[in-house]
Amino acid sequence: MKVLVTDNAHLYKTPDGKYYTPSIYSYEFFKRYLNVFDEVRFVSKTKYVDTIDTSNFLLVSGKGLEIYELPWYQGIKGMLKNIFKLLVRYRKICDGCDCYIFRVSQIESYLAYIIGKRRGKSFAVEVVNDPFSFTDLKGIFKWINIRMLKHIVKKANGASYVTKNFLQGLYPNRAMLEGECERYFESYYSSIELTESDIRKPKTFSDTNSPFEIIHISNSINSNIKGHKTLIEALKIVCNHGYNITACCIGDGNLVSEFKRYAEELDVGDKVHFIGRLHSRQEVLDRLSKGSLFVFPTYTEGLPRAVIEAQAVGLPCISTPVAGIPELLDKRYLFEPEDSKSFAYEIMRLINNTDELEEMSSINIEVAKRYTKEKLNKRRTEFYSRLRKLAENEND
């Protein structure tokens, strides 16, 4: 039994035929599917490289996993330049697969659904974000994305969401509208890979002489959708009030230099540290655990892994009321993405209330425990098993 899985992914291929990723899509990621299906075909834009630094990249290749290569491109303009090559690839994307899982909202999933999907084949969707909150999509492009997501969710046999309630309300599936049955079903689970052993002890905040470090994570720093400018502006305000504070930004991308310049313009260049991308979950958790407060002024999300990982190591968190974040954090710790003043004054208030920081740490750990792999795998496996059963019935 072979399943097609689509997402917006970029992989690197070495001459020995192995595939690597800077983050997320390691072979460990695909075990969730391979626990139920015999084979997985994963669709990815692929770049051929002569060598790769394996200490900075994760191995993707493994038993039962096939990579279906697309031409390498980034962004809408890059896609349009390669459109004819892409059309050829998408026409055969589903050949040999028994069922499909489209991770949405991603344009790669929509193209696979429109061009490659075969009639009579069961499919499911995993709704991982909300296109309504996409800041880089405007006008007709955003409208099309939203309409397409609503359409594909209603047509799917199975629909799972990263949120418990929020995305379901915006994009209801057929099981919700007509009632769940053998052919139409739903679930919810995060995409995070977090084990019970990853959960740390609550933090203490007794050392008031040490610099107070705020931490931010964005895997790809190619836009301002994760609120880097708001973070830098808030830091400037806090510094102006005489607080001993620094910021650590995890991640990499083509806008890092621009954000560094912005920090220098605000005279906090020596306070903001961009440390690059951390490639393993353990590296991320270890670095998060050294911080004092997770500050995440994001504009668009589904249910952010970054917040849950910060909670898992006991970091107090403040963020925005976007998508599923209110399912993770109390509303008093949520502010509008562009409101740097509110973020700044909340940071200062919390610095002066260490008892509250310790309470937030304990609460966040309990929230993170709901998202461990041990708990999520049960729902994932049940969801995938129902899709497999449908596909087996179709092949009988």
Please tell me the distance from the alpha carbon of residue 216 to that of residue 320, in angstroms, as a whole number: 13
> What percent of the chain is modeled with pLDDT above 90?
80
pLDDT above 70 for 46 = yes
Structure confidence at residue 268 (pLDDT): 97
Contact 228, 194 (CB under 8 A): no
The predicted model gives 375-391 an average pLDDT of: 94
**AA identity, residue 233:** E
The predicted model gives 150-175 an average pLDDT of: 94
Element (H, E) at 126: strand 123-127
pLDDT above 80 for 238 = yes
42: closest CA among 19, 58, 22?
Answer: 19
For tokens 């830091």, what's the residue? Answer: 235
Contact 160, 383 (CB under 8 A): yes
Please tell me the distance from the alpha carbon of residue 348 to that of residue 240, in angstroms, as a whole number: 11
The predicted model gives 352-376 an average pLDDT of: 94
Backbone angles phi, psi at 28, to 5 degrees: -60, -35
Predicted confidence (pLDDT) per residue in 167-217, tens digit = 999 999 999 999 999 999 999 998 888 999 999 999 998 766 678 999 999
The predicted model gives 40-59 an average pLDDT of: 94
pLDDT above 70 for 135 = no
